[in-house]
């Protein structure tokens, strides 16, 4: 598997920034990505040592349009991974102090 199919993008929210302070980072990953594949991809891309990977899957849901109530559409299923890195290491994408206001 290519790394682009394993790790799709980082999830940057207020909650993920709080997790980043404790060494945990949140990524959207492919639906078929395993914990071992996510670990190897993060280690190779970002050059950090991964100690723990937790995954969770949000299933696809049917939604109703607010404009036309009879129109229904389906939201895609996504899979997230919470990656914990070795103490003292960090991933620069989530570094708030570098690009944040002072």
Task: Give the pLDDT band of residue 98 (cuts 50, 70, 90).
Answer: low
One-character DSSP codes across 17-86? HHHHHTTEEEEEE-TT--HHHHHHHHHHHH---EEEEEEEEEPPEEEE-SSSTT-EEEEPPEEEEEEEEP
Q: What is the pTM of this model?
A: 0.81
pLDDT tens digits, one per residue of 32-88: 999 999 999 999 999 999 999 999 999 999 888 888 878 888 889 999 999 999 999
The domains found in the chain, sorted by start residue, are 3-88 (3.30.70.330)
pLDDT surpasses 90 at 27? yes
């Amino acid at each position: 598997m290519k790394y682009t199919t394993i790790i799709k993008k980082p999830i940057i929210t207020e909650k993920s920034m709080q997790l980043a302070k404790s060494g945990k980072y949140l990524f959207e990953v492919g639906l078929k990505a395993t914990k071992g594949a996510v670990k190897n991809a993060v280690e190779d891309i970002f050059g950090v040592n991964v100690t723990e990977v937790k995954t969770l899957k949000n299933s696809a849901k049917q939604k109703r349009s607010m404009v036309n109530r009879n129109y229904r559409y389906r939201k895609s299923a996504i899979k997230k991974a919470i990656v914990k890195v070795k103490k003292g290491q960090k991933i620069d994408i989530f570094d708030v102090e570098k690009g944040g206001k002072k």
